[in-house]
Structure 1
Amino acid sequence: MDHPAFASSQQIEDFSALVSDIYDTVLDTSGWPRVLAKIAAFVGGPAAALFSKNAAAKTGNLYYDSGGMEEGFKRLYFEKYVKLDPATTAHYFMEIGDVGATDDMLAYADFVETRFYREWAMPQGLVDFISTVIDKSASSATMLGVFRSASDGRADEEARLRVRLLSPHVRRAVLIGDALNQKASEAMALGEMVDTVRSSMMLVGEHGRIVHANVAAHALIASGSVIGQVGGRLTARDPDVARELSLLLERCSEGDASLGDRGVGIPFLNSDGTRYVINLLPLASGARRAASAQFAAVAMVFVHRADLPAPAAPEVIAKSFVLTPSELRVLLAVVDVGGVGEVAEALGIAESTVKFHLKRLFEKTGTHRQADLVKLTAGFSSSLVR
């Protein structure tokens, strides 16, 4: 089968193997650095990482990386340069699954004039960064990103397409395996891991037989409101969902590839109007087979409500006052670094440009001083704290 991202059948096989490796990180998180190195090679770049950014606080966390970057530069990014990275705000405004490179965030000519580029990216020979949003919360975005060096060149359409192909698989592995929060519990047995997850999770054997379930899953099954059991076999209250679930579980027993293009998720609207998603992870290959052997399980089933996340403060501010991305960047920079001169240096733009955007910000927000803008932003941030 031809695909625009692949020039040969060998590349298709390599991609399939990479996807399998991604899902194996669900039960063996120590594999993420190796998988990220393969992702970097697949997309084209010296390094890749799983990380999160908080657009309001201008902070970030590195969860896993492929290596290929000096430790000092990694430390400096999260200690200092995440606040100066002109893409941080734009990253948060990307939707889950979106793919973007530097010139999707701002004009590349402006990017190379920023302190971030001159002091952090250029000394490493980096020219671009292509990323995709894996998950979002009220305050941060979790992302997969691949760095591009001068020898790789700036991200082209093929690189974007390859990241887009990987994005849903990385997202499923992260969400189903809770991969970003398990570094302290890698030695736990599979059953113990399932028991510690607050969402409903089950290990299911052939023909839908429930072989292990955590407390949340037992409660959900007992309520009969979303899922249930008949003769010890997992089913769903909605007949259509029950049929789909049964079909996917049968295919799980035949191996990962049997799911084909159907994916591993069943989104549906429950009878009470609440949206749910049932995710299935096949346990029939590699490390997953070994880890699940004691339970004779063919799939891990994960049931959760599909709640919409609350918007973060920058997003609310931008929508409330109809701010352009450039105006929002200047507003957040005023909060972070202070006066016109400091903002101009941090963003790599002229002071006259900062003053122009400030004039527009004053008009749109009904404020008159930079101190008023700081108070306004703080008010939005505190109103969203739960």
Structure 2
Amino acid sequence: MNASMEKDLIALVHEGVIAENGWQALTDALRQAVGAAHANLTFRRTDAPMSDLTSYVSGGPTEDMSRFYFGGFHRTDPLPYYRLMPGRSYGLADIFAPDDKSAQDQLRLLLQPFGEPHLLILRITEPGGANAWLTVIRDTPEFSRTERELIEALGRHLGIALQAYVRLNDTQARLAAYTSAMGRLNVGIVTLTADGRIIDADHVVSRLLIQGEIMGRDPHGRLTLADGTAARALGAALRDFTRDRTGRSRAVRLSEGKRADMLLLPVAERPVTGPFTPVLRAYVHIDHETAGDSLESLMEMFRLTRSEAKLAFALCEGHTLAESAERLGVTLQTARTYSKRIFQKTGTRRQAELVRTLLTSTLSLV
């Protein structure tokens, strides 16, 4: 083991946070560096069953071991994973007392493919409660003090990497949830530079750019708007927000034919690095027809009949009671009866209150 090899392993620890194949390259390189038959880095949520693991495995009869382990051995695994002191490497002699033959014999059932194996395991934690274990196994010889120090050095870097990985995953999970909610509301986001160049656009805006009906992208990557008035308002906002990061937001109507609008906001924060400086962030809203799922959800939320739910949606779209009755193919008197039931079940008294109740409920996310 030389210093250059250790540096390469440390680099792979940190690359694993963003690498497409995670820490697979680390376990492959570590196994070769210490002459091990097997190496793995395993992650487990504290409340997850032992069968729900994420592992990066290198070498060894992994399929046979996995079948044996999850075929029942995991229920009686003698290794005290959560009692291991984080950052310290453990061999079998460090874990089990010399006279604890039962646990050692039990573990040998798992490790028997490796002959008379020597195992080294290290637990990694991070402040949020995440846990990981780095394990290497080989036949002979026993792991040296230098190799233990290497594993422990990697453990310190894995602790840092695990903290970054957990934060990144938490952020991605929240972003996915927000993106899903915004998509259900038919709201998209696009970020622009001072000259209107698109830095990023979510799937809602990307779809509109491809359709090209109300907005598009010019050959230089700049956002274009089909409506002349909206385009001029966007240009003015870009100029103002370039000068003043705290400028007031502006609402812009994108189309007379479709109910489409855009809220323009200055980007107050500036990234530390990157090819472009964001100046303006636009929230784009396109109205859409009520989906069948929304009807079912409305019925369930307020215990409405299907006919009552259809009338409620018609009223929310701005139609009068007479217009709504005609759309539903019922008499005005029947519509009046339905509306009384709707107001009673939703706790509203007027059409305006009904609209406000439905638009501010979670039905808008369906």
TM over 0.5: no
Smaller-chain TM-score range?
A: 0.3 to 0.5
Higher relative contact order by CA 8 Å / sep ≥ 6: 1 or 2?
A: 1
| TM-score of the two chains, using structure 2 as the length reference | 0.42
Question: Quick check: which has more Rg, 1 or 2?
Answer: 2
| TM-score of the two chains, using structure 1 as the length reference | 0.40
